[in-house]
Amino acid sequence: MDRKLQSLEDTIAAIATPAGEAGLAVLRISGQKAFKTVDKCFNPIGKSSCKPSNAASHTIQYGHVVQGDRVIDEVMVSVFRAPRTFTREDVVEISTHGGTLPAKLVLDALLHQGARLAEPGEFTMRAFLNGRIDLTQAEAVADVIHSRTELALNAANEQLAGKLSSRIRELRTQLMSILAHLEAHIDFPDEDISPDTTDRMIQRIQETHQFMDTLLSTADEGRILRRGIRAAIVGRPNAGKSSLLNHLLGQDRAIVSHLEGTTRDTIEESANIRGVPIIFVDTAGLRVADDLVEQEGIRRSRKSIAQAELVLHVVDGTTPLHPEDLAFLNNGSSKACLHILNKSDLQAHESYHSEKKHPWIPVSCANADGVASLKDAIIKEVWSGKIKAEMLEVMINSRHQGALLRSKSSLQTVIEGLQSRLELELVAMDLRIAVSAVGEIVGETATEDLLDSIFSQFCLGK
């Protein structure tokens, strides 16, 4: 029996809430025998409560989970009858007291009664296999869970609502129509395709190219919202890097001192900057150092610059522009870079007035003046003016990007084949490859290995 079909016959259970002490913990059970499994270890209390098998859908029952004669915990049992459930199977959710032990003992009782421990993402996989959601919506579930900003959450919710799915299905329908047209000519070889028909077919394929390009243009923005970007804060000792980090984070994370070389290792912290998760990396001051520990810190600083997507170059505006800062301005980094003139509340040294090539962003770490403007500049640099509100509906991820690029490459081969009057069977083969790659995005043509790869990244209980 197929492994996926066999797993659908199992009744699965898992703890759906994070480990640790809390007010409540929730366990989820799904499958053909979900009700019977819970029946065996749940004793309802009161006249209005009953076993899950006897309960109406979308009701809550009160009682005890027991194992033998021993009461494990006082619980609330929520009953959901198929198909109006997350997995389109019978589902039970048990709310226990928070803490690792109560939830674990309840789970043990369920497993003892025949349930199987769910694999990571298996509940969502069942929702996909049972036709409740497609693959892009399944991925959106993970994006919702991992969202670190409201903007990222909005984008994930748009995808969960099926906005991207509808675009992909529209694209696949267009390609299927072209393929059907091409195969009709293959079935009737006595009727050659006229040049006008060939030109029209090529035009239709080129239109799908443009459609793909629109989707592909959202890949970078989608990656930024899902993962954030790394921003390295660099500069000479005592330029104000650690103070700037604290202002950007809104908390005292880094030690601030008038002594040079206080920061000897990189410090990483995430912050929500205008809806974008930014990982700020405070680095050791860049200079020639004799201290071995400081030398290692500087080496790590340069490594952080290499790994960062954005560099925040900080200088002390009251001191002359140092040759090392000047070198950094001219050729210190090929990355996107913002140059920050700290101590803007004081008189800037005249050497900064002559530096016109790179505009300075004035900031005072003493009173936080200019920090808001710096955040605006960071976001402007991140988006480069390309993001639009409607793009939140269809921001693709790296998997979608790879599938679209493969499809686009095959379509280019189709165009070349039609232009050179290649045998239609060969042209149709490349067109089928393009259609299959697009179908892979929503799960129409996804392989079992692909599904395992996607759902294995989910947490248990989801």
Same domain? For 203 and 232 the reply is: no
Task: Give the length of the chain.
Answer: 462
Same domain? For 267 and 370 the reply is: yes
Q: What is the Cα–Cα distance from 394 to 221, expressed in whole angstroms? A: 10
Q: Is the dihedral of CA 7, 13, 16, 21 positive or negative?
A: negative
pTM of the predicted model over 0.85: no
Q: Is residue 459, in this structure, part of any structural domain at all? A: no
What the block records as the tokens of 346 is: 């004081």
Backbone angles phi, psi at 452, to 5 degrees: -60, -40
Same domain? For 125 and 26 the reply is: yes
Neighbour-count burial of 334, counting CB atoms closer than 10 A to its CB (0-12 exposed, 13-18 middle, 19+ buried) = exposed
Q: Write down the pLDDT at residue 421.
A: 85
Same domain? For 289 and 312 the reply is: yes
User: Element (H or E) spanning 7, and its range?
Assistant: helix 3-9
Place of tokens 């400081």: 294
Q: Which of 186, 11, 183, 191 is nearest to 90 (CA)?
A: 11
CATH code, domain carrying 202:
1.20.120.430
Same domain? For 235 and 310 the reply is: yes
Same domain? For 75 and 92 the reply is: yes
Q: Which of 277, 228, 235, 275 is nearest to 365 (CA)?
A: 235
Q: Is residue 454, in this structure, part of any structural domain at all? A: no
Same domain? For 240 and 344 the reply is: yes
Last residue of a domain, one of 383, 417, 451: 383
Q: Is residue 419, in this structure, part of any structural domain at all? A: yes
Q: Write down the pLDDT at residue 257.
A: 46
Instruction: Supply the range of the domain harboring residue 37.
Output: 3-132
- Considering all CA atoms of the chain, what is the largest pairwise distance in Å, rounded to the nearest integer? 87
Q: Is residue 449, in this structure, part of any structural domain at all? A: no
Place of tokens 């239709």: 204
Q: Write down the pLDDT at residue 284.
A: 67
DSSP 79-115: EE-TTSSSSSS-EEEEEEESSHHHHHHHHHHHHHTT-
Q: Which of 341, 343, 363, 365 is nearest to 353 (CA)?
A: 341
Torsion angle of the four alpha carbons 414, 418, 419, 423, in this order, in degrees rounded to the nearest 10: 110
Per-residue pLDDT of the chain (462 residues; tens, 9 = 90+): 344 545 778 999 999 998 888 889 999 999 999 999 999 999 999 999 999 999 999 999 999 999 988 999 999 999 999 999 999 999 999 999 998 899 999 999 999 999 999 999 999 999 999 999 999 999 888 888 888 777 788 888 888 888 889 999 999 999 999 998 888 878 776 555 665 678 888 999 999 988 899 888 888 778 777 777 888 888 888 888 888 888 888 876 654 444 444 444 567 888 888 878 888 888 766 554 555 555 565 666 667 677 778 888 898 888 887 777 777 676 655 677 888 899 888 887 777 766 666 788 999 988 889 999 999 988 888 876 444 444 555 678 889 999 999 999 999 999 999 998 888 889 999 999 999 999 999 988 877 888 888 887 777 777
Q: Is residue 390, in this structure, part of any structural domain at all? A: no
Q: Which residues contact 49 (CB under 8 A, 6 or more apart)?
A: 61, 62, 63
SS3 percent helix, strand, coil of the chain, rounded to 5, is 50, 20, 35
What the block records as the tokens of 116 is: 């199987």
Q: Is residue 172, in this structure, part of any structural domain at all? A: yes
Last residue of a domain, one of 109, 132, 155: 132
Q: Is residue 36, in this structure, part of any structural domain at all? A: yes
Q: Which of 341, 217, 231 is nearest to 276 (CA)?
A: 231
Q: Which of 110, 90, 118 is nearest to 33 (CA)?
A: 90
Q: Write down the pLDDT at residue 290.
A: 52
Q: Write down the pLDDT at residue 45.
A: 96
What the block records as the tokens of 439 is: 């179908």
Q: What is the Cα–Cα distance from 378 to 376, expressed in whole angstroms? A: 5
CATH code, domain carrying 310:
3.40.50.300
Same domain? For 237 and 328 the reply is: yes
DSSP 218-263: THHHHHHHHH-EEEEEEESTTSSHHHHHHHHHTS--S---SSTT--
